[in-house]
Structure 1
């Protein structure tokens, strides 16, 4: 086949050249007895692989399938069972490799059977991406990275494409790099950082199960996270061929930036580490700062702590504020808090009876504690309309949100006073009108 393509662009001539080579190769295979024998070996290898897989796969499934779901070997066995779909293409690939050795010994050629072996390898990669990869990110990477690379390898174009990408150099300013380094970086970076994320989640789950202070647990989790992703970054730089010595200059520049423009960020980061080590305020504590911010700490990051108020709002407080200002910690991981409920009684009341009545009533509340102190009713003063009292009581938790301790105690006080005939006063005012003649009123 000869075509005059001198008038066409070079890319068209190159594609046409590959087409002619493929046509000549196909015709050579169709007219060659050695090629037909290789086709026969391919078909035989595939049928033999199907026969073996039909018998081997059920046996392996019975052997690997865990009967006891609570066994320590359950997870590894379930992991191994995922690879059963690869048995058929890998068996065909192995049997074809044996046939290739025989054909090359007899005919001193094996192009056809080598192509068939690569096809079986492509089918194995396809089954791996379709049936084994469950993670959405890995499936995406398999469809758009692994399958195209396997297809190029199957048709013998992988070396050609790799060479073309290696010779294509692009530049950004004074930095120049080849497209193959970009592709290698994308693939390696995706795998490394996915593996880092998976390792970080597994390590965090393991640390969460350990018995230690919550602050130390959070510090360990953050430390492991920085170590994993730092190691992944260094490995990626090495894979892409970037000189790690150049990072020293970058690190120096970052250090200068931290010293001048990023002082607050560095201060908040160090303050966060101090908070995690000391444990004076950690996740789950209800705190109140000098600036008026108050809420439950729901998350602590490298820069700030996030407080959630009882009305559902989130307040982001820099870590530095916990170190440089006064912080009131109401929770301290579940310690008791004292509250008081004020009330008044009439001046006609025998006030000597009130403390015992109120303390007994408040003690009936299921959340009121006897330790460190039982309910204590105290006389506070003599008001305009009545005698002022207040009862102090201790509870575990905060008197807000889902808890209504003061409200419950006031109900108990009301009912106890009513049951004992004690009057709760309300303001009285006496108005005296003088000077009726001056106002034109009748006497």
Structure 2
């Protein structure tokens, strides 16, 4: 093992001769990642807002709740592939560069999204319909698993000195913009289409529209520069030959901490947005346009919160903000769900989603840079992707399914609040026991 490699594995940051980047370079880097990330997350998230229609088209059943459960189970299947995509594409990105990996994720997502919108219904082709849908969700999950870690590492490694928090928050900002776009399009289609048309063919529109953005995202990513941090590693011959093995042998503790930190983040994000919209309409009986309007307003609150707390994390530190967010989820989750269960309407949905939007927005602002700072550049993509996507698979992807099952088995409409509380407790324990050195792997401070 070479001396520089030994120093890196021991924890010291390699010396970086950081190049001076022009404003044009930074704008192109930001644009390529944010637009591409928006495209991929929109295509992955939109499924949740049409779960009821997809369930009826692909999983016909006498009990509507059973169809929704089957649809949410398929939604969760996509998350099973996220850790696989994380380690395969993450390893590729640590070996050959963030840019090459992010181009690959976009191509896979574009193909899977187009196919999802074109699958015939169960009535037309029988069991082949749900099987094809599951295959598309697996491909989407594979691509998304490689997207998140690459986009986050790319932005944080491009960040000027003292601005890692703000730049990292832009990744989550594009994710929240994807959520708002998904909610907005779902609301529009619910307003302009009849229930019969929405069920027959309207649910396919978002998947086909999302696919149309792919060429722009591909062009931007194909013409962007590699990150300065990765280029420094490449010039110093520090690119690992086996990043997956190195990540799990030398940084398994950091991967576990990434998983623990991410737990409430992924649960809160999917419960307060994707799950709540279907829960309020299918279980609580609230009108879909009312619920989507409230959910959209809450998502806009989340968008306003994310960059603010990303910027603030550069000023006051990231760990205190993450603890504040997790503690808020622990204390407020059950009261919020009890409120919306007792009074399902626009104002209560807005109150719940806005509060959830602030709590998850605080986390989304500070967490991307925080997670990057736990890992060295040479295995950052692989290790961070593995820990983050394992948490998303275990706790977030099946959160709508688990929450729906809790409601059905307990008969208590506010039961999902307890699931959020459990995730918050796990994250708090991780944060309070975690040793955090923000500049250990960065020399820009």
Q: TM-score, normalised by structure 1?
A: 0.22
Q: TM-score, normalised by structure 2?
A: 0.22
Larger radius of gyration: 1
More helix by share: 2
More strand by share: 1
